[in-house]
Structure 1
Amino acid sequence: MERGIADLSIEDGEEEAFPVPDGVEPQNSVYNLCLVGRFLTSSVVHFPAMRNMMANLWHPRVITGVPWTFNNHILIMHILQDNEDPMSISLVYSDFWV
């Protein structure tokens, strides 16, 4: 095995794994289907349980209607706009009042 490793070289070139033909246009992101969100709580939210529950209940109209909650913690969501940085979104309040 040492003999096989000794013959390896970082400088050896590799073939391109997925050749991209010339003239292919880059894909555009579909931001109207992207949401960012956070829970308004200082306690820990069990992510696997929340993910499973949301996957079972999620619908395309999720952003309309009443606010979403998990274990009595409100989930604040925002629809991303074109080229909007998800890390710069301030998710600290909800516009919906009961």
Structure 2
Amino acid sequence: MEGLAIEEDEDTGIQIEQNLLEQGISIDNCFVGQFLTSAVIHFQSMKTTLSNVWRPLGGVSISDIGENRYLFRFYHKIDVDRVEENGPWNFNSHLLILYRLKEGDVPLSVPLNLVPFWVLVNDVPPGCMSKGVARQLENFVGQFLIYDSEKVTLGYKGIMRIRIAVDVRRPLKL
């Protein structure tokens, strides 16, 4: 250690080209997920089953990242959107909690407690079929996400279709 010296040219940092940085793994099309169970999940069976159910156009790779969490990497945005919109998903009757990763997220520390569900609200009085009324239901059933205004025929029957996020840590309200 006595003969160790830092020369001036060694003191400068290295420059990495932007296109080399972009070749790293992107999390744009990734989910991190966990099954709501204490049972052991057979990884290969889960991987095969979900790949067959989702049938992604661009493919999917599923990795076990530890702590009962899995990384789902899709290779096409259409597949990511379809999986997100058509959930929730399950494997062997175990609910899969998915979180769509954003830039800066750490897969092992993102919260996995909200699951989106479509809910039908029956006996809605005429004139109350609106996004505003749907939002007021938020405190009762869960966090409001979407009001499905495209299902107009349901409104004639007094049925409102909304998408909510349910916190799996809390008991369901009936």
TM range (shorter): 0.5 to 0.7
Q: Deviations over 1:67-93 (max 9, x none)?
A: 101110000001101111111112134
Q: CA deviation at 1:36?
A: 0.2
Q: 1:34 and 2:27 equivalent?
A: no
Match of residue 80, structure 1, among 92, 101, 110: 101
Q: After TM superposition, what 4+ stretches of structure 1 lie above 6 angstroms from structure 2?
A: none
In 2, Cα distance between equivalents of 1:24 and 1:81: 23
TM-score between both structures, scaled by the size of structure 2:
0.40
Percent of pairs with identical residues: 38
Which stretches in structure 1 are left out of the alignment for 5+ residues?
A: 1-21
- Native 8 Å contact 1:31 1:81 kept in 2: yes
SS in 1 for 2:84: coil
SS in 2 for 1:94: strand
Match of residue 41, structure 2, among 39, 45, 50: 45
SS in 2 for 1:69: strand
Q: 1:57 and 2:53 equivalent?
A: yes
TM-score between both structures, scaled by the size of structure 1:
0.66
Which stretches in structure 2 are left out of the alignment for 5+ residues?
A: 1-14, 57-78, 120-174
- Native 8 Å contact 1:40 1:92 kept in 2: no
Give the number of equivalent residue pairs.
Answer: 77
Q: 1:24 and 2:45 equivalent?
A: no
Q: Provide the alpha-carbon RMSD of the alignment.
A: 2.1
Bigger mean CA offset, 76-85 vs 52-61: 52-61
Q: CA deviation at 1:24?
A: 3.0
In 1, Cα distance between equivalents of 2:101 and 2:16: 29
- Native 8 Å contact 2:88 2:116 kept in 1: no
